[in-house]
């Protein structure tokens, strides 16, 4: 797909639509582009093994496809979206790479450890950990946010990164890469996404601190900060009118397709990024993060 075709397919207004959490790719209009037909690999991750949380759909699926076409085996961690996860596995295996699936809730520390155990059992090692899965919901008033919602958002979005990194580190050699998905909300919090935005700020800080902590082990830690991206999370967690105009107020005038997020993850996972650690790569359609 050309850049022009991507823009045409992704430009708002979109049909008003809403789904149940966590959302399904096939029910979106338009269906997101994960690079299924466009991404071309060049062997940049040959022989590596990766864990990708939230790898069933959205950014995670796009990264899984790109990693596989670059030569990496992939474990896809996901909550409960079996149909989406099977679709991601199809594309990884079509690229000639192994794909393991691990369903479950990463807010549970023991499940995080099981995810890493499964990857080590399947691949013998972990070279790349992509902490991408996230939970969000919209609220107009502080008093509308249940305590349980606040706790779940932190448990899924930031606590799991700690559990997974801690479990994966003993299986990562020199040159290992941890990539966390932050957000433009790290610097410019959307008030209607207060729990989510707060965790994204924490992720950026976690990334910077962990990069320093693991530098002597030669394991790099970075984060990617997307702007609006057309994924199932959007119709599943935002009002219909917001979905219809999603991304319109960004300089490029549209949300990113997941395929447009994959390249920075590939770069940060590759040996070519050997001196990049503690960085935030903003992919925000022209809206600055300063």
User: Which pLDDT tens digit goes with each residue over 102-149?
Assistant: 999 999 999 999 999 999 999 999 999 999 999 999 999 999 999 999
- Rounded-to-integer distance, Cα 46 and Cα 44, Å: 6
- Cα–Cα distance measured from residue 139 to residue 193, given in angstroms and rounded to the nearest whole number: 6
What is the tens place of the pLDDT at every residue in 6-43?
A: 555 579 999 999 999 888 999 999 999 999 999 999 99
CATH class of 46-283: alpha beta
Tell which residue, 113, 112, 119, 114, has the closest CA to residue 98: 119
Find out whether 93 and 99 touch, Cβ atoms under 8 Å.
yes
All residues at 6 or more sequence positions from 214 whose CB lies less than 8 Å from its CB, including other chains:
169, 178, 220, 221
Q: Which among 59, 274, 80, 85 is positioned nearest to 183, based on CA atoms?
A: 59
Percentage above 90 pLDDT, the chain? 92
* Active site positions, annotated: 196
The domains of the chain are located at 46-283
Helices (H), the chain: 3-10, 58-69, 82-94, 109-123, 147-154, 160-168, 194-213, 233-237, 240-244, 262-269
Q: What are the residues whose beta carbons fall under 8 Å from the beta carbon of 275, sequence distance 6 or more?
A: none
Q: Which of 188-202, 206-220, 228-242 shows the lowest mean pLDDT across its residues?
A: 228-242
d(CA 140, CA 157): 21
């Amino acid at each position: 797909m050309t850049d022009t075709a991507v823009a045409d397919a992704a430009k708002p207004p979109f049909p008003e639509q809403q789904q149940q959490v966590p959302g399904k790719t096939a029910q979106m209009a338009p269906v997101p582009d994960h690079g299924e037909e466009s991404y071309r690999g060049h062997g940049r991750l040959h022989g590596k093994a990766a864990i990708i949380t939230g790898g069933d759909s959205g950014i995670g699926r796009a990264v899984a496809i790109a990693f596989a076409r670059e030569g990496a085996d992939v474990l896809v961690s996901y909550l409960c979206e079996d149909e989406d996860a099977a679709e991601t596995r199809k594309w990884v295996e079509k690229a000639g790479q192994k794909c393991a699936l691990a369903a479950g809730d990463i807010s549970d520390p023991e499940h995080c450890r099981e995810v890493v155990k499964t990857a080590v059992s399947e691949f013998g090692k972990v070279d790349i950990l992509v902490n991408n899965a996230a939970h969000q919901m919209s609220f107009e008033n502080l008093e509308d946010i249940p305590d349980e919602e606040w706790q779940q958002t932190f448990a899924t979005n930031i606590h799991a990164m700690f559990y997974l990194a801690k479990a994966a580190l003993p299986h990562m050699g020199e040159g290992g890469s941890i990539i966390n998905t932050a957000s433009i909300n790290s610097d410019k919090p959307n008030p209607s996404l207060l729990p989510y935005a707060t965790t994204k700020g924490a992720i950026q800080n976690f990334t910077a601190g962990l990069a320093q902590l693991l530098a002597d082990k030669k394991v790099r830690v970075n984060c990617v900060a997307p702007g609006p991206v057309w994924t199932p999370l959007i119709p599943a967690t935002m009002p219909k009118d917001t979905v219809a105009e999603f991304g319109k107020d960004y300089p490029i005038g549209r949300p990113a397709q997941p395929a447009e997020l994959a390249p920075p993850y590939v770069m940060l996972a590759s040996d070519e990024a050997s001196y990049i650690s503690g960085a935030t790569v903003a992919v925000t359609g022209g809206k600055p993060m300063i």
